[in-house]
Amino acid sequence: MESDSPAQSVRAIIDRALAGVWAASAVDAATLEQNIDAANHRKIQEPIVRAFDEFFAVLNASYVENCRRLNRLAPINHLPDDVLTAIFAQGTLADHLVVSWVCSRWRSVAVHDARLWTELSLSPKQSMGLLEHLLSLSRSMPISLRLPASNPHIISALPGIVARDIDRMEELVVHGRDDAMSTMIHVFFPAAPRLRILRLEGVLDHCRLLLSLQPRAAFPALREIHLVRTSIAPETWASFPELVDVTWAPFPTGSLVDDIYNVLTSCPKVKRLRIYGLNTAHMITETPETTKAQMQVALRNVRVISLMGGDEEPIAVDLMPYLRFARHVVVYCSEALSEYGEAVLDQIEGPAEALYMRDSTRASTGEVIDDVLDGVLRDVCLDSAGPSPSRRELLRVKVAHLLLRPLRTATLRSLSLPVGCWTAQRGGGTNIFLALETLVLLGVPLVRPTSSRKMPACPSLRKLTLEMVSGERAANTTLDTLVSKLIGICAWPIQRIVVVNGKFAPNQLAKRAHDVQVVSLMPEDERGPFSEDEVLQDRLPEDWQ
């Protein structure tokens, strides 16, 4: 027998309830029936009854559908723990997941599975008790730990955490900054068989970490170490034979050249070395024990050396005779570029491939690259520098004269130029062809091959990068005209054009550049967010790494 629908069941209940109700009245039933207008009563009642019928129909359909699904879906309590763990591990969680949002079954599985607690990251406001609880949940599993430097309780407990859990740490990062602490924290590292990345970069000068190691401690897996404002003894480097990437602040005493040589000989696999915190205390006042020949051997595997600090330019002048044997040297320059730039650049005459000069006063990424292979210019990147348009133009012209003397255009393979739209006070107009003028500074006259002036041969030029100065974009016609001149007039064999932070009309170039690949990197509001690495990778030579 088929069961009644929910609507019929409700009506039956109402009828049974009203059947036994009797209300005494002075008016008999005949009088009531005589006074009621049956047609009006039905007019009022029918929409109400129809709405109830529709509601009960939806309710009944939902009931039937739920019954059908219950026969196909297993309740969460019936799933094994390994299935729930896989869902947790492979699923995407919200940035801030409140534990009370998850049912007790999920919480029980998550708490008892150490694999879900291998990557721990705390915010500055979270307590030390929470960190201890999370570490206990991970138990013996390898962990990656990120701690905020602005939490004094966590930073003070760092030595104890390292001593207890270093044997299972794969990554330890101290990030952020703290302006309140004023203490010296001594972190003693025993052997760390799993540690791959060590980054202690979140403390300021008045809150320093002193790093020391257990004698003959082994770090067989350590590949990256970043010690910013963190002291490390010179003899400690021998414990890191597998290091590849190093960021390091040397002691201001002793010879900086000898310290660099010690790092490179102790860690022969280093490919990227960032020397941080340079100041006048690091000035080379005495002849170092390390010779240039010894440094050349030590630099045979190094791909990039970076010099960073407040007064690195004069130090770079002294270091460059030793560091020029590395493939790429990076100098973060301030406005002292015009004073020290020539002295630094004069040292780049050996086998070094590139010199990057980055202006630390700029908000966006900017490099001045002089890529030299065995003394032959291969890649040129001129960028704007300084805080003001006049300063940018002055320094760029200055750098153009410094870097490109003489320009060997026969080997030039890539060219990166800034495109300005600055008011240069020349005839009251706007100078929109500074990049073209820069080409003239390079010794590349922009004339047709049929002209009486000789056109320089650039048979190796394949890549052209044009970057609009941030916040000062030129009109579309500016870039179109510029690229048209570079392709149509110069007739260079360019295969790739990269336009950074600017718009142009590539369709208008089709007649002049049939086989040229055009790439446009737009700012965040027009193209979506992109990283500085993306811009940098598209501007540098393909084999720079």
- Taking alpha carbons only, the member of 105, 128, 109, 129 closest to residue 117 is 109
User: 53 pLDDT exceeds 50?
Assistant: yes
DSSP single-letter state for residue 489? I
Using alpha carbons, list the distances in angstroms from residue 232 to 95, 118, 247, 284, 319.
Answer: 36, 28, 12, 20, 21
Residues 6+ apart with CB under 8 A from 372: 348, 349, 352, 353, 354, 355, 378
3-state secondary structure of 19: helix
> Is the pLDDT assigned to residue 302 strictly greater than 80?
yes
CA neighbor of 169 nearest in space, from 197, 131, 209, 148: 197
Structure tokens at 452: 């009486």
pLDDT of residue 70: 66
Distance of CA 40 to the CA centre of its chain: 74
pLDDT for the residue 533: 43
User: Within its chain, how far is the Cα of 43 from the centroid?
Assistant: 70
In the chain, the amino acid numbered 302 is V
Query: Are 442 and 400 within 8 A, CB to CB?
Result: yes
Which sequence spans correspond to the domains of the chain?
380-389+399-540
Q: Which residue do the tokens 């490919």 mark?
A: 271
**Tell me, what's the pLDDT at 265?**
92
Q: What three-state secondary structure class fits 209? A: strand
Mean pLDDT (whole number) for 292-308: 81
The terminus-to-terminus CA distance of the chain in angstroms comes to: 79
Q: What is the 3-state secondary structure (H, E, C) of 364-423?
A: CCCCCEEEEECCEEEEEECCCCCCCHHHHHHHHHHHHHHHCCCCCHHHCCEEEEEECCEE
Sheet holding 207-213, edge to edge: 183-189, 207-213, 230-232
Phi, psi of 2 (to 5 degrees): -75, 135
Read off the pLDDT of each residue in 268-278 and give the average, rounded to a whole number.
Answer: 83
Q: Closest by alpha carbon to 232, among 206, 262, 194?
A: 262
**What burial class does residue 354 get, using C-beta atoms within 10 Å of its C-beta: 0-12 exposed, 13-18 middle, 19+ buried?**
buried
Burial class (CB in 10 A: 0-12, 13-18, 19+), 36: exposed
Reduced to 3 DSSP states, what percent helix, strand and coil does the chain have, rounded to the nearest 5? 40, 20, 40
Return d(Cα 485, Cα 436) in angstroms, integer: 9
Beta strand pairing status for 354-359 and 369-373? antiparallel
Yes or no: say if 414 and 379 are a contact pair by the CB < 8 Å rule.
yes
Is residue 265 within 8 Å of 297, Cβ to Cβ?
no
Residue 322 has, within 13 A of its CA and on its CB side, a CA count of 24
User: What average pLDDT is seen over the chain?
Assistant: 64
Cα gap 90→93, rounded to integer Å: 9
- 3-class DSSP assignment, residue 355: strand
CB burial string 4-19: b at 16+ within 10 A, e below: eeebeeeeeeeeeeee
Tokens of 7: 């609507």
413 close to 376: Cβ distance less than 8 angstroms? no
Once rounded to an integer, what is the mean pLDDT over residues 136-163? 84
Instruction: Return the SS3 of 129.
Output: helix
Please state, as a whole number, how many other Cβ atoms lie within 10 Å of the Cβ of residue 109. Answer: 21
pLDDT beyond 60 at 529: no
Can you give the length of the chain in residues? 545
Name the pLDDT band for 426 (thresholds 50, 70, 90): very low
Confidence of residue 475 (pLDDT cuts 50, 70, 90): very low
Phi, psi (deg, nearest 5) at residue 229: 55, 40
**β pairing state of 304-309 and 272-278:** parallel
pLDDT tens string 212-268: 666 666 788 889 988 776 667 777 888 888 899 888 878 776 788 888 899 999 999
Average pLDDT over residues 334-343: 43
Residue 329 has pLDDT above 70, yes or no: no
* Res 211 pLDDT > 70: no
CA distances (Å), 41 to each of 22, 32, 36, 52, in order? 22, 13, 8, 17
Task: Considering only residues 496 and 101, tell me which one the structure prediction assigns the higher pLDDT.
Answer: 496
The stretch 26-47 carries a mean pLDDT of 68
Residue 66 CB-density burial (10 A; 0-12 exposed, 13-18 middle, 19+ buried): exposed
Distance from chain centroid for Cα 393 = 30
Higher pLDDT, 34 or 41: 41
Predicted confidence (pLDDT) at residue 326 exceeds the cutoff of 50: yes
The span from the CA of 183 to the CA of 209, in Å, is: 9
User: One-letter amino acid identity for 262?
Assistant: N
- What is the percent of the chain where pLDDT is above 70? 40
The CA-atom distances, in angstroms, between 302 and each of 298, 323, 365, 544 are 8, 10, 23, 12
DSSP conformational letter for 71: T
Is a pLDDT exceeding 70 seen at residue 79?
A: yes
More confident residue, 304 or 397: 304
Label residue 158 by pLDDT band (50, 70, 90).
confident
> What confidence category does residue 530 fall into, taking pLDDT thresholds of 50, 70 and 90?
very low
Q: Among 15-24, 151-160, 450-459, where is mean pLDDT lowest?
A: 450-459
List the structure tokens of 353.
Answer: 């491939």
Assign 444 to helix, strand or coil: coil
